[in-house]
Amino acid sequence: MGYKVVVVGATGNVGREMLNILDERKFPVDELAVLASRKSMGTEVSFGDKTLKTKDLDTFDFTGWDIALFAVGSDATKKYAPVAAKSGCVVIDNSSLYRYDPDVPLIVPEVNPEAIHGYSKKNIIANPNCSTAQMVVALKPLHDRARIKRVVVSTYQSVSGAGKGGADELWDQTKSIYNPTDDKPPKQFTKQIAFNVIPHIDVFLDSGETKEEWKMVAETKKIIDPNIKVTATCVRVPVFVGHSESINIEFEDFLDEDEARDILREAPGIMVIDKREDGGYVTPVECVGDYATFISRIRQDSTIDNGLNLWCVSDNLRKGAALNAVQIAETLGNRVLKKG
C-alpha cells in the first residue's frame, strides 16, 4: 500500500522536477493529483510514462490525501497549505513561508532527519533555500568531527533559481548581444545577466545584506547549530542550472584536509571530485540532473588556526528544491507514516 500524493504547482520548473524525481526514485505512489492555478488548469504534465492533466488548486479537496508537495510561491502557500494541513494531508513546502516558524521543522534529510517528528504541530514541513541545502549537506559531517565556529560563503547561483523567467531572460539577452537591433533590457533581474554577474538576490535589508544572504544564515543555524556564525554574499551568474559555492570554514578543533576529504567521501549525498590537476573539480555543467552535492578544491586555510576551504556544486532544481522535497517525503514515510 502506497501514498496518495498531491503536487501543487505541477506546471512550474520545480513541480515538474518533483514529478520526475518521484518517478525516478520509485516513490510508492498509489494515487497522484497534479494541481495548478485556474489559468493553467488542464495543462498536461508527465509522470513516468503517464500524462496527467492539472486540476484547479482553488477547488481541490485535500481530504484523504497523505502528502502534498508544494512548489508555489509564499502567497499561494499561505492560502492553501493550511487548508491541506487541516484536512490531514502533510504539507512539504518549498517556499520560504514556514522556514523560520519554530513550530515547523526545516529538513535536509542527510543532516537532520530526526527533526521530522516536529511536523505534527502544524502538519507542515519546510524545505530550505536552494543555496542553504547544498551547503549544510557539506557542513554537517565536518561539524560533527571538529565543531564549526564560522562560515564565510560566496555563492554563484544559476538563473533557474529565479524561475522560468530568469532562464528565459538569460537566453534572450545572450542572443541579443549578437544582434544589435534586438535589445533585451533587464526585467527579471536588476541588471544585464548575460555575460555578467549580479551581487544581488532577493530584496535588500536594513543591515545591507540581501534576504537571500540572511536566509543562508538563519537556515544554517536552524538546521545544524544556532551557535555557528555565518556570513554570505550571494551572486547571480549567467548559468542556466546549478549553484556553486566557495565556502571557508573555521573550526574549533584542527581538521586536516585529508581527513576532511575522507569524511566527506563517506557522508550521505556527497560526491567528492578533488584532483589537483586540470579539470579535477566539478562545475555546474557537470552536476545538472544529478542527485549528489559535489565537493572539490578541499584545502587548508593557512590564514587561520583551524580553517578549510572547499568548492560546493549542486543542481539547484534537484537537491536545492525538488529532490530534497521528495527525500523529505521518503523520510516522513520511513519514520512516521510507514506505508509502501
Q: Residue 297 and residue 9: Cα distance in Å, rounded?
A: 37
- Name residue, grid cell 549537506: 137
Which residue in 143, 243, 287, 312 is the catalytic one? Answer: 243
Q: Residue 77 and residue 81: Cα distance in Å, rounded?
A: 5
Which residue in 130, 234, 287, 312 is the catalytic one? Answer: 130
243 labelled catalytic: yes
Inter-residue contact 272 to 261 (CB < 8 Å) = yes
130 labelled catalytic: yes
Inter-residue contact 180 to 261 (CB < 8 Å) = no
Q: What are phi and psi of 314, to 5 degrees?
A: -155, 155
The catalytic residue positions are 130, 243
